[in-house]
Homo-oligomer: A and B are copies of this chain.
């Protein structure tokens, strides 16, 4: 018996998030179902990030033990990809130390948020981006983004049902503009509160449209009051990109 970590991509559109939940389709349940078929026993899995309904992953990390020592990492990858539904794909499997827990051990998580800026929507991107039909001022958004960096109390930007310690450290927020219509907000941190990234993104878009001045981010962050943040940016633009350990 040995432990492995799988790097997994999924299209979150048809999942009720990553984490197991009774009666709805989740990524974790699909993974565990496939593992049970392959190894003929229940194998518990440990994911790195609990992405919400509709949120995607390019590099979710999930650890579990492999009871069958005859199978190489490549064999486990191929077996899983043969069993898994078409909206989950195992990109890599590598051996890790016993009881490796990606959630507890991650030192950095990187998320992407994709915005599509155009007067008209692109139906082929409807589950992949947040469509914003007006120009965004990238320079102002970059100015605003700096206020998020560092250690702060993110009470203003968390979800109402997240009761954990609201102090989080955001290492870096980068705003990239590519192929004319796409804005990618890349956010790095050790860990995030529920809805925190989507709430940060919607605030940045308020700045981008000119509704808010960049300094407003600093003010509402310091106020530690949830009611001051705008509604969350839609789930379909968010991607769990990778985790470092």
Please report A residues at the B interface, Cβ cutoff 8 Å: 9-11, 56, 86-89, 91, 120-124, 126, 128
CB-based contact B9/A56 at 8 Å: no
Query: Within the assembled complex, what's the spacing in Å between the Cα atoms of A123 and B87?
Result: 6
Q: A11-B123, A11-B124, A89-B121 are in contact. List 4 more A-B contacts (CB 8 A).
A: A9-B124, A89-B120, A89-B123, A91-B120
Q: Cβ of B126 and Cβ of A86 under 8 Å apart?
A: yes
Q: Tell me the bound Cα distance from A240 to B88 in angstroms.
A: 28
A202 smallest CB distance to B (angstroms): 21
Copies in the complex: 2
Q: Which residues of B contact A120 (CB under 8 A)?
A: 89, 91
Of A91, A120, A128, most B-chain CB atoms within 10 Å: A120
Q: Tell me the nearest residue of chain B to A88, going by C-beta.
A: B123
Q: Are B56 and A124 in touch, CB under 8 angstroms?
A: yes
Closest 3 pairs (CB-CB, A-B): A89-B123, A11-B123, A9-B123
Which residue, of A56, A86, A91, A123, has the highest number of chain B Cβ atoms within 10 A? A123
CA distance A236 to B124 in the complex (A): 12
With a cutoff of 8 Å between Cβ atoms, the chain B residues found around residue A9 in the complex are 122-124
Interface CB pairs A-B, < 8 A, 11: A9-B122, A9-B124, A11-B123, A11-B126, A86-B123, A86-B126, A87-B123, A87-B126, A88-B123, A89-B120, A89-B123
